[in-house]
Structure 1
Amino acid sequence: MTLVRPARPDELPALVEHPGDPERNAATRAYLTQLLDSACTRPEWCLVAAEDDGRLTGSVVLWTLPGHEVPLAVVLFEAPEHSPETASALLDAAAAKAGELGAKELEHVVDSPAQAPQFQRNPERRGELLRDAGFEVARDGRRFGFRTPAASGETGETGELPADDPRLAFRSLAELGPEPFVAVLAELLADTADARLAADVRQHGARRAAELLFEETAGLKHEPEWWELGYDADGTVAVISLPAENPGFPVIGFVGVAPAHRGKGYATSVVIRGTRVLVAAGAREIRGDCDAANVAMAKAFERAGYVNFADRLEFARAL
């Protein structure tokens, strides 16, 4: 009989160990240690599936942004591929715990090919288990990576970063305050190609969805000087750039081009600007992503020196 329960202290941070897979085991241990240290999770949020003999056969960990008390997603979801019952029990237990803590929805992302530190091998089967447990695909995304020549890793390497676009004059959040940023976001979200953001607009309206996006992104580590609006020569806002750092990597966060200024190559310009800001702050490897339907943004990442290193399905389950 399989029992789902909180992991004991002696089971943290290893959780499920895979024999003969030391790379995976070391990476996931380090990842969970980081999540615990940064308060992205708590020991009581780490659930395991245990057999009668005490052997651990599955796990799921609730995740949130540092400083938040309500879980947003599940990570380190492990279950035997031949046991949908174990997978469902783990996800149901995580959903119940998250609901008790005030969550209205839980997310889980599946990367292909499998990426450290979660090593989500056999993504097709993982997707089946998630759907069986009430999760639906909320977004089909593409992941991009940039790293400087001094960095190590496997997400691509670039030479000299291109210069800023001389057509744009940038002003920061520190100078302008939040309102102009939220107003630009509301304009952009009104016709966004991002499935997840479009769903937020349908639910909340463009203005409220913009406020929520601003608040969510502001939950990531950043400096007010990093966040900028770029102005065209005619004095109107052309681009928005919100680079930040999540608990794993510096990220482009959110970038966008105002409708009146599309078709000018500004999408690439704003990705370059966010990248330059993060590199100046010490970043050596940067991540970014976009919806698969947003072809223009995918091309902008590539033109800015990024490499598409994985696809990402974002799943969500309403609670």
Structure 2
Amino acid sequence: MPWSNVTPVVPDLTFRPLSGPAELPLFQSLSYVLDHEVAEDLEAGRRSPSWLWVALDGDRVVARAGWWRGSGGAPGGVPALLDFFDVDDSLPAPERLRVGAALLEAATSAVVPAGTPRPEYERFVPPDWREDPAARAVVEARTGALETTGARLLVERLRLEWRAGTPVPEDGGRLRFRPVKDREDLVALMTPVMEGTLDAHGKQDLASGLSAREAAERHFDEELARYSTPRDWWRIGELPDGEPVGFVVPARNDYNPVIAYIGVLPGRRGQGYVDDLLAEGTRVLASQDGVERVRAATDLGNHPMAEAFRRLGYVNFERALNMVWDGAGPSAP
């Protein structure tokens, strides 16, 4: 039904979560690249119907928002990420902004406990989204609505993929690789890497007042420790005399094999060791049965890391926009 034939005022819309998995087709009246994952996520507990919200004009979905928490969930059942936010693109631009922002505020008040930091928003977009007028319009409609709620862009990231059949160099012997022994073994190396990081999330942690050690511990505990794949995949690269130069964390998340983290110690940067580390991590994953691809990501502005992935044959198949809110979420009504 054309928008001109319905009443474009927020009070006439219904904002509500799904009543259960059976309503998933309603949520998927709008589309996004992650739609195919939602049913399995619900079964696995990575999502909850109460975290999947729609704005309804009668029985027509004009906007939706959804949160995710990954395997194991977060303490207290708090979602970790807002990764669905869509508005019917047939609506006039002012209505897209107003309806999208109103839904998001209503849903956030119900989903995110009062006083809790609002989960970050992540949107996957085409790699050439700025050059494609249609893709750019979709992105700007979403980010514009989010900005009216106080969100700001934190970083744009390259999403990268190595595909089976792409050559991976044999170990040239420049470094000796050993498995990570334990949490302290890796955190001790993550700490100096964090001090000079080009990663926007790491910089945000440091700007919040965390020390480099505290930021490294937080990254380990909140992300790396969640991976259920063997920790003996994780590698530290050392010179022949035993001096460590960096590390790589190959793992598998809920969906794909990934290079979860890679770092070169500050005193050894610019000497090409990132290539050795990345190749080792990719070899570990590529040697597992049935691996068709390995995923990774790096900030758009982290040119040395992006170039390392390019040299090894990773392709930039997508980008991610990450937006954050400063402060806690809205209070529940």
- Quickly name the TM-score band, shorter chain normalised: 0.7 to 0.9
SS at match of 2:301: coil
* CA–CA separation in structure 1 for the residues paired with 2:127 and 2:265: 35
1:43-93, Cα deviation, whole Å (9 max, x unpaired):
111111112x22222211111121112211112211134322221122213
| Alignment match, 1:78 | 86
Residue of structure 1 aligned with 2:207, choices 199, 202, 208: 202
Deviation of the 1:303 alpha carbon: 0.9
Residue of structure 1 aligned with 2:300, choices 257, 275, 292: 292
Deviation of the 1:311 alpha carbon: 2.6
Q: Given the superposition, is the C-alpha separation of residues 286 and 101 from structure 1 closer, same or farther in structure 2, using an over 3 Å criterion?
A: farther
* CA–CA separation in structure 1 for the residues paired with 2:25 and 2:83: 13
* CA–CA separation in structure 2 for the residues paired with 1:166 and 1:16: 51
Q: Given the superposition, is the C-alpha separation of residues 50 and 14 from structure 1 closer, same or farther in structure 2, using an over 3 Å criterion?
A: closer
Q: How does 1:208-227 map to 2 (within 5 A)?
A: 208-215=214-221, 216-227=223-234
Deviation of the 1:101 alpha carbon: 8.1
SS at match of 1:312: strand
Q: How does 1:230-269 map to 2 (within 5 A)?
A: 230-269=237-276
The answer to whether the Cα contact below 8 Å between 1:185 and 1:210 also exists between their aligned partners in 2 is yes
* CA–CA separation in structure 2 for the residues paired with 1:262 and 1:58: 46
1:111 aligns with 2:124: yes
Residue of structure 1 aligned with 2:45, choices 23, 36, 39: 39
SS at match of 1:313: strand
Q: Given the superposition, is the C-alpha separation of residues 120 and 45 from structure 1 closer, same or farther in structure 2, using an over 3 Å criterion?
A: farther
SS at match of 2:142: helix
Residue of structure 2 aligned with 1:54, choices 51, 59, 78: 59
SS at match of 1:225: helix
Deviation of the 1:120 alpha carbon: 9.5
SS at match of 1:124: helix
SS at match of 1:269: helix
* Deviation larger for 295-304 or 265-274: 265-274
The answer to whether the Cα contact below 8 Å between 1:49 and 1:90 also exists between their aligned partners in 2 is yes
Deviation of the 1:123 alpha carbon: 1.3
Residue of structure 2 aligned with 1:94, choices 107, 125, 134: 107
Q: Given the superposition, is the C-alpha separation of residues 301 and 45 from structure 1 closer, same or farther in structure 2, using an over 3 Å criterion?
A: same
The answer to whether the Cα contact below 8 Å between 1:140 and 1:313 also exists between their aligned partners in 2 is yes
**Structure 2 letter corresponding to 1:254:** Y
Q: How does 1:90-239 map to 2 (within 5 A)?
A: 90-100=103-113, 103-113=116-126, 122-149=138-165, 158=166, 160-173=167-180, 176-203=181-208, 204-215=210-221, 216-239=223-246
Residue of structure 2 aligned with 1:7, choices 10, 14, 18: 18
Aligned length: 298
* CA–CA separation in structure 2 for the residues paired with 1:59 and 1:120: 19
TM-score by length of 2: 0.83
**Structure 2 letter corresponding to 1:113:** P
1:257-314, Cα deviation, whole Å (9 max, x unpaired):
1112122211111111111111122321111111122111001001111012223221
Gaps in structure 1 of 5+ consecutive residues: 19-23, 150-157
Gaps in structure 2 of 5+ consecutive residues: 1-11, 129-134, 329-333
* CA–CA separation in structure 2 for the residues paired with 1:70 and 1:108: 14
* Deviation larger for 129-138 or 99-108: 99-108
Identity rate of aligned residues, in percent?
Answer: 30
Deviation of the 1:28 alpha carbon: 4.8
Q: Given the superposition, is the C-alpha separation of residues 261 and 234 from structure 1 closer, same or farther in structure 2, using an over 3 Å criterion?
A: farther
* CA–CA separation in structure 2 for the residues paired with 1:195 and 1:248: 24
* CA–CA separation in structure 2 for the residues paired with 1:163 and 1:101: 52
